[in-house]
Structure 1
Amino acid sequence: MTEQDALEDYRTYLTVNKGLSPQTVRAYMADITQALHVLELRGIDTLDAITLDDLRSWMAHELHGGLTKTSLARKVVAVRGFFDYAQTHGMCRTNPAAQLATPKQAVRLPVVLSENQAEKLVEVSSQDHNVLALRDHAMVELLYATGMRVAELTALNVTDIDFSQHMVKVTGKGNKQRVVPVGAPAMRALAEWMRSGRGALLAEGEETTPAVFLGARGGRINQRVVRRVVHESAAVAGVPDVAPHALRHSAATHMLDGGADLREVQDMLGHSSLSTTQRYTHVSLEQLRAKYEKAFPRA
């Protein structure tokens, strides 16, 4: 099997078996192809000829070329996954990337709004009552109430909402589904949008679209529009300019501050690893330290 055949096999595996999005698959394959190309330029043109030292040399080449450690870490994960698959399926005798470590990075805490700032952001999105305003308010409320990702919000279908149980079914990365509770304010905003706004935006011929949130032309809303709505709401509310993902971070942090269990937050966010969720405990501790130093006279 040629190297190109191995790459195509892996592309199919990521798409069919792993269920990754086309964008994610393209990014992974571009990272792997670029790494193999660098090694080919050095005369290493078969998978069996690649060693751990070769891959470390490739990493050094990337850093020397100005690639950030964060971007390189993503590439290393992609390369490790490919070689693990290649060895498992008999495409190479050994896995040279098995011991390939990602570059150490400084811990960056997520951007988080305070509870007061989040409240202002949600309130400002509810001030108008036209069709688009009803939609925008419901989106902002739902993003903060559930901590869902933008892609998950735009993928919501009408059948995913359980108004009687105050629950919503969310389809996350890898098509993994989870059921997330929704608070009363967000549920009211969602019900108002469904009752008084959604029907008005259904474009002619698209009455059967299953999407919860619609664009101005009646089709499923674009992620770019959701991001614009959050940025504009933040500007009007006078809070720090944030992207929708900051509402996800804020929801998780505020839940932990309120006494939620780490596992509960992990389930709500759809994190596969608890270590990902644990970042928010660091945010809570940093905020506690800041409040302590400001309020305690002997701090």
Structure 2
Amino acid sequence: MDAGSPPFQPATVARRLSVVAGFYRTCVIDGVLDRSPAEYVRRPRVSNESPTLGLSHLPFEELLCAARDSDNPPDFALVAMLGLLGLRISEACRCDATDLGEEHGHRVLRTVGKGSKIALVPLPPAVGRAIDRAVADRVRGPILLNLRGRRMDRHCATRRLRLLAEVSVVRLPKLHPHMLRHTFVTTMLDAGVDLRDVQIAARHADPRTTMRYDRARTNLDRHPNYILAAYMA
């Protein structure tokens, strides 16, 4: 790592050390090594609170409006796929026009998530229209294209989101793709969807992950500072 580059976040370090430890553990099981050199490596403690905050209802609605009014059709599909379907940016960028289909009377999008797990995500009409607008008359190829007509990647997606934030009527924070997946989870919980159903929709293996998405927002909404200020007023 260069001296001037920022350090990795604890979650990133812990995740990468976990991969290394798993590799050496397999070597020990297979008899390649006598003991794992990563056995006593200390991993950083990861906070139970997510450092990312999703958008609240009104800012998210304004972002959707800005994307819908954009002259670049993939913008609306990008925001809808991340914020209304809860796709990870890697999943959204991998989706092709051939991944659209029907299942039991529902229009669905076939995605490949973590661990190469295939999921069929139902498309609400508004999201379907956004995707149709991005695909236009193409029958194959990526759903999300960059301005050069090539497959969009996470870096291009981040730039498009930040351009949309600049033209939005409401002042928006510095956007990045994962913030919209965060918004997907917290908006569902705000709408009264059961935690278990949100976990299934977000495709979280552990409900604690879903709760971690929501905890930071809840801590702000219910902070005792507001109670004290109201009492003193």
State the TM-score bracket (shorter-chain normalisation): 0.7 to 0.9
Structure 1 stretches lacking a partner, 5+ long: 1-65, 200-207
Asked if the contact 1:134–1:193 (Cα under 8 Å) also holds between the matched residues in 2, the reply is: yes
Amino acid paired to 2:22: G
Report the 3-state secondary structure (helix = DSSP H, G, I; strand = E; otherwise coil) of the residue aligned with 1:167: strand
- Cα displacement (A) at 1:265: 2.2
Asked if the contact 1:109–1:282 (Cα under 8 Å) also holds between the matched residues in 2, the reply is: no
Q: Does 1:214 align with 2:164?
A: no
What CA distance in whole angstroms lies between the structure 1 residues aligned with 2:88 and 2:52?
14
Q: What's the counterpart of residue 124 of structure 1?
A: 66
Taking a change above 3 Å as real, the CA distance of residues 87 and 157 of structure 1, as seen in their structure-2 partners, is same
Q: What's the counterpart of residue 42 of structure 1?
A: none
Q: Determine what percentage of the aligned residue pairs are the same residue.
A: 27
Q: Does 1:232 align with 2:163?
A: yes
Taking a change above 3 Å as real, the CA distance of residues 273 and 188 of structure 1, as seen in their structure-2 partners, is same
TM-score, normalised via structure 2 length? 0.80
- What CA deviation, in whole Å up to 9, does each residue of 1:237-272 have, x standing for no partner? 121121011000011111112222323222222323
Taking a change above 3 Å as real, the CA distance of residues 86 and 265 of structure 1, as seen in their structure-2 partners, is same
Q: What's the counterpart of residue 242 of structure 1?
A: 175
Select 1:223's aligned residue among 154, 160, 174. Answer: 154
Amino acid paired to 1:214: L
Q: What's the counterpart of residue 115 of structure 1?
A: 57
Q: What's the counterpart of residue 129 of structure 2?
A: 188
- Cα displacement (A) at 1:121: 0.6
Q: What's the counterpart of residue 41 of structure 1?
A: none
Q: What's the counterpart of residue 102 of structure 1?
A: 43
Computing the radius of gyration over CA atoms, which structure comes out larger, 1 or 2?
A: 1
Q: Please, what is the CA RMSD of the aligned residues?
A: 3.0
Q: What's the counterpart of residue 14 of structure 2?
A: 73
Select 1:252's aligned residue among 177, 185, 200. Answer: 185
Asked if the contact 2:97–2:140 (Cα under 8 Å) also holds between the matched residues in 1, the reply is: no
Q: Does 1:154 align with 2:93?
A: yes
**1:1-299 map, 5 Å:** 69-95=10-36, 97-98=38-39, 100-106=41-47, 107-128=49-70, 130=71, 133-162=72-101, 165-195=106-136, 199=138, 209-237=140-168, 238-290=171-223, 293=226, 297-298=230-231
Amino acid paired to 2:53: V
Taking a change above 3 Å as real, the CA distance of residues 184 and 298 of structure 1, as seen in their structure-2 partners, is farther
Larger RCO: 1 or 2 (CA < 8 Å, sep 6+): 2
What CA distance in whole angstroms lies between the structure 1 residues aligned with 2:91 and 2:224?
34
- What CA deviation, in whole Å up to 9, does each residue of 1:70-112 have, x standing for no partner? 4532342122111211111111223454565522244443221
What CA distance in whole angstroms lies between the structure 2 residues aligned with 1:72 and 1:192?
40
Structure 2 stretches lacking a partner, 5+ long: 1-6
Amino acid paired to 2:51: L
Q: What's the counterpart of residue 59 of structure 1?
A: none
What CA distance in whole angstroms lies between the structure 1 residues aligned with 2:207 and 2:40?
23
